[in-house]
């Protein structure tokens, strides 16, 4: 349903789309049924001359079951939705798979900055690559992100990953994603953060291993500098 409007580019995007489809089917059924009954009743029981309305209290068991049975069925649907929602939530937000790489994402008024590990694959070393408004990722690599903010609340939102997570100053929030398709996509701030909120746009660039290696070679601090730092 959603992938027609927005590409699906993370390992868990199909699960979130599936959950949304499940909910759409269940509530769509109830919605259409209820509206159909509703409009049918309006048409069927329009006032006619000389015909009086029936006197129904709705307090008797035989009458009340018209309410209680649908009510129980709604509850059953709710259980299906809860189970689906909990499973997807656990996978995306609660459970952290082993990371192959870690990136740091920092929100501030009004830009995103990113710290990528350099060729050594680790953060906080001399070859880290820092960028502004461009997050470079490699396809089919499981990333952890460390999200924080320098000032106010921001929200990391990558629609193609189906991911949103608020950034809070003073906290580092850890989460994960695994890009599954190459491409360049919008990266948004989804929490109002002041007058520049509307221009706090960034891009996520998902590359093949070769492209990613080339980008890293081009942008990593020169080896001599890195070596000097290590020494």
Q: Site residues for another protein, window 17-76 (CB under 8 A)?
A: 19-20, 23-24, 26-28, 30-31, 34-35, 37-39, 41-42, 45-48, 51-59, 63-64, 66-67, 70-71, 74-75
User: Which one among 11, 102, 138, 165 touches another protein, defined by CB under 8 A?
Assistant: 165
Determine, following the binding rule CB under 8 A, whether residue 135 of this chain makes contact with another protein.
no
**Four-point Cα dihedral 210, 213, 214, 218, nearest 10:** 180
R_g (Cα) of the chain, nearest Å: 26
Q: Is 84 helix (H, G, I), strand (E, B) or coil?
A: helix
Determine, following the binding rule CB under 8 A, whether residue 111 of this chain makes contact with another protein.
no
Residue tagged 């509206």 (tokens): 35
- Least distance (Å) from another protein to the CB of residue 106? 14
Q: Is the bond into 18 cis (omega within 30 degrees of 0)? A: no
Determine, following the binding rule CB under 8 A, whether residue 196 of this chain makes contact with another protein.
yes
- Least distance (Å) from another protein to the CB of residue 193? 6
Nearest Cα neighbor of 107 from 206, 184, 187, 176 is 187
User: Which one among 144, 162, 178, 212 touches another protein, defined by CB under 8 A?
Assistant: 162
Nearer to another protein, 46 or 231 (CB): 46
Residue tagged 């000389």 (tokens): 50
């Amino acid at each position: 349903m959603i992938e027609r409007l927005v590409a699906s580019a993370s390992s868990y995007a199909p699960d979130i789309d599936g959950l949304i489809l499940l909910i759409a089917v269940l509530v769509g059924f109830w919605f259409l049924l209820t509206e159909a009954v509703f409009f049918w009743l309006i048409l069927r029981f329009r006032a006619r001359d000389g015909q009086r309305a029936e006197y129904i209290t709705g307090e008797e068991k035989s009458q009340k079951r018209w309410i209680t049975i649908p009510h129980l069925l709604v509850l059953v649907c709710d259980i299906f939705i809860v189970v689906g929602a909990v499973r997807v939530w656990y996978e995306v937000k609660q459970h952290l798979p082993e990371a192959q790489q870690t990136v740091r994402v920092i929100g501030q008024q009004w830009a995103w900055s990113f710290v990528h590990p350099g060729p050594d694959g680790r953060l906080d070393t001399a070859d880290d690559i820092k960028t502004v408004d461009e997050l470079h990722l490699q396809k089919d690599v499981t990333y952890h992100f460390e999200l924080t903010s320098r000032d106010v609340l921001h929200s990391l939102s990558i629609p193609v990953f189906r991911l949103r997570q608020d950034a809070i100053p003073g906290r580092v929030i850890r989460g994960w994603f695994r890009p599954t398709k190459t491409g360049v996509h919008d990266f948004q701030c989804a929490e109002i953060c002041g007058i520049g909120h509307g221009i706090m746009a960034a891009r996520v660039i998902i590359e093949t291993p070769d492209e990613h290696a080339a980008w890293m070679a081009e942008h990593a601090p020169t080896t001599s500098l890195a070596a000097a730092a290590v020494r």
